[in-house]
Structure 1
Amino acid sequence: MTGSVKDTRTTGPRAAAARIAPALRGTLRESAARTAITGAPDKDLLADIRASGLLAAAVPVAYGGAGGDSSEVNRLVEQLAAVNPSIAIIAFQHFAVTARITEWGSEEQRATILPRLADGTWLAASAWSEPAAGAAKQNLASTAERLDDGRWVLNGAKSFTTGASLADIYLVLVQTARPETGTSGVYGASGQTFFLVEGANPGLVPDLGLDLTGMRGSATGFVTLRDCLVGEDDRLGPEGRAPQIISGVRESGATLGAVALGVAQSAFDLALDHAARRGLLARPTVRHRLVDLETRIESARAIVERAGARTSPTPGLTTLHSKLHASEAAEEICLEVARLLGSAGYATGHALNRMLADARAVALMGPTNDLCRELVATTWPS
């Protein structure tokens, strides 16, 4: 099925209700500090997230969700990132897979999977990247071969999969046919197909061997596909049409810039609190530095909100710009806050160091910032 399904979402009261409860906010903050040290995902916190109803934000009302549009999703992701960026990126990937199933799934897939994504029974993750494929995913080694009985067998390895070992269903990108010469775009290549693979499938083996500097509680790791059997009804969208699905992702307006925005806001709040406690707000130079930082945050927020609202004549480009601007602003704001804090922020365990690492991580998430630039540049006249 193509992306022509009827839009069953709403921006009404149920969508607007996607807010983080104060008690959960405190738990999120405590978990962020703890996982930054251990590097291990907080499964107890994930259980709370599943039970909170937040994962329903992007699921259409018709399938038991809150029916939030991309603006609502961006706001929710920003709220999460302000207290726990690792959970924010897990949630963002869940929402992204939800949107792909809503747009491209068969009616059976939508009826079966979306209610489980809404009530927290299932957590979704994406498994697209792999070691030698590059940021543009044009040289996939992971393959799917159709068997005589109509099933498919998947083999290969995926890297930088957020939510590895936690997810109940993975959106996996594989090569189902040899790429045609000269048909590859900037992102993806011909002959690539998406499959929805349940985490319980014995042929899908997660590995949390990655030890990342940032997003340490995000369970970002490897996924190995070993004679992983799936059915024809597990294929998402037409065979060989994954690049078309990928190109439509940014058109949705949901943006990783929202994660960066939450991190930037958290860093600014930390700086403001520090200045107030030290009596530094009496100094005009400090006040003016803080105002400049807040202005940069408002600038990033404006483009993230514009991406979510999809009011631009070219919403896909706005989404790319929003990720570029917000992620770079977040990293620079964290660095400026570090200068403002001086020695107070130099301790290894200081929260600002975690924020800076998390802000840097957003720039490396797909599409990476360099790939975002290339995707934007290809729209210019030659």
Structure 2
Amino acid sequence: MGLDGTGAGDDRLIETARAFAKAKVAPCIDRWESDRAVPEDLLREAIGLFGGLLVPRELGGREANVRVTTAVLSAIARADLAFAFSLVVHLNLTGAIARIGSEQQKATYLRRMIQGDLVGAFCLTEPEAGTDAVALRSRAVQQDDGTWRLDGAKAWTTNAVVADLFCVYAHVGDISGSRSIGSFLVERGDEGMTVEPAFQLMGGHVMGTSGLRLTDCVLPPGRAFAPAGEGFAAAMQGIDLARAVLSGMCCAILDESLATAIRYAGGRRAFGKTTLDFQGVQFPLADVQTSLRAAQLLTDEAIGLLDAGKDARVEAAHAKKMSTRAAFAGIAACMQAMGANGFRRECDLPRHLACAKMAEYLDGTTEVQNIVIGRALGGMPGGN
């Protein structure tokens, strides 16, 4: 057993992720960003290697715990957090199908999702309902013949440009509130479903983020996924996991940026000594390391609760809030320690900075994390 609680097989998997990131992601990521390209073939290859992490062995998966899953994805995030987050979204849906999907859904989708034949996407956010996730306008109505008709629009859907299977959340019938939210599995090519062009962003174009529209989209009865009243809880369960994993990924890119800044400052000479010898460089980097350690401790706490099968809602909110803040401020400080060279495109830090800012929005903004934490202070129920 490794020092971090991983076994030999897990360590090999993590090493495979490091090697994959170094050989396949790192050499190409700048070109992908410049071209605003979505590396679909490589994403499917990555899914083929790691797609079964959250699936039990009896269903053909690897049955990794959250700690190992986070370590694998963090190893890839060191090359590019955005590419790793595409995997997070896919893994989350694959795990959900293994956990709550019908036998028909498991037979239809699970093996192909583990192998990378299908790419998954998670569709909760809407143009008019982001932070207030319960205020969805999408509707699902069951017809007399048992089929479902979906109407609505989704926004900020990771993997949308290349995804084959979309988990779409909608109010079922005419009732409002979280008790009426269910989810449905929509396939690319279903009549009435249209994927919009990719968003143009500050960074993270490899995630293929866009929106989709559903207009009289009719689905067979077997495509109903989480029933009304359980859809919102299922979404929040997946989001708590994603927040913890994303926190680990933010710690990884901050650690990578700090190491880069220390190497640079240790080799750069000015006024007869290295720039790392000056307190004006040392102290900001010392603050970065303190923030990194604090974020890692909060992340480890959330991961430990998830692996123990306990409620980690508040702990995941703390971890996500701290890690994204630490990453954005810390990477900027690392760039400053490198002077103008930290601002050059051939340096990885500007791209990491864009991803750190993006991470502040993913799976709930910092303000949403404060809602979760604030409600827990007074024992109030709910929170995203």
TM-score between both structures, scaled by the size of structure 1: 0.87
Residue in 2 that maps onto 1:192: 181
Mean CA deviation greater in 18-27 or 266-275: 18-27
Q: Higher relative contact order at CA 8 Å, sep ≥6: structure 1 or structure 2? A: 1
**Aligned residues of 2:265 and 2:276 also touching (Cα < 8 A):** no
* Separation in structure 1 between the aligned mates of residue 43 and residue 252 of structure 2, nearest angstrom: 19
**What is the Cα deviation at residue 265 of structure 1?**
2.0
Q: In the alignment, is residue 25 of structure 1 matched against residue 22 of structure 2? A: yes
Residue ranges of structure 2 left out of the alignment (5+ in a row): 1-5, 380-384
Find 1:347's aligned residue among 344, 347, 352: 344
Find 2:324's aligned residue among 322, 327, 351: 327
Q: Which amino acid aligns with 1:214?
A: G
Task: Note closer, same or farther for the CA distance 1:287–1:306 as it changes in structure 2 (3 Å cut).
Answer: same
Percent identity reads 23
Residue in 2 that maps onto 1:294: 289
**What is the Cα deviation at residue 325 of structure 1?**
0.8
**What is the Cα deviation at residue 177 of structure 1?**
2.5
**Aligned residues of 1:176 and 1:240 also touching (Cα < 8 A):** no
Instruction: Report how many residues are paired.
Output: 365
TM-superposition CA deviations, 1:157-205 (whole Å, max 9, x none): 111000012112111111212334xxx4xxxx23111011122424322
TM-superposition CA deviations, 1:337-382 (whole Å, max 9, x none): 1221121123356432211111011111122221111022112226
Mean CA deviation greater in 89-98 or 16-25: 16-25
**What is the Cα deviation at residue 218 of structure 1?**
0.9
**Aligned residues of 2:171 and 2:228 also touching (Cα < 8 A):** no
TM-superposition CA deviations, 1:216-263 (whole Å, max 9, x none): 211011112232221221111222421222233355574321232222
Task: Note closer, same or farther for the CA distance 1:378–1:32 as it changes in structure 2 (3 Å cut).
Answer: same
Residue in 1 that maps onto 2:277: 283
Find 1:265's aligned residue among 255, 273, 276: 255
Q: In the alignment, is residue 77 of structure 1 matched against residue 66 of structure 2? A: no
Find 1:212's aligned residue among 188, 191, 201: 201
Q: In the alignment, is residue 168 of structure 1 matched against residue 164 of structure 2? A: yes
Mean CA deviation greater in 92-101 or 339-348: 339-348
TM-superposition CA deviations, 1:15-40 (whole Å, max 9, x none): 55432152542321123211221222
RMSD: 2.4
Q: In the alignment, is residue 90 of structure 1 matched against residue 80 of structure 2? A: no
Task: Note closer, same or farther for the CA distance 1:334–1:251 as it changes in structure 2 (3 Å cut).
Answer: closer
* Separation in structure 2 between the aligned mates of residue 312 and residue 191 of structure 1, nearest angstrom: 26
**Aligned residues of 1:15 and 1:57 also touching (Cα < 8 A):** no
**Aligned residues of 2:59 and 2:98 also touching (Cα < 8 A):** no
Residue ranges of structure 1 left out of the alignment (5+ in a row): 1-10
TM-score between both structures, scaled by the size of structure 2: 0.87
**Aligned residues of 2:80 and 2:352 also touching (Cα < 8 A):** no
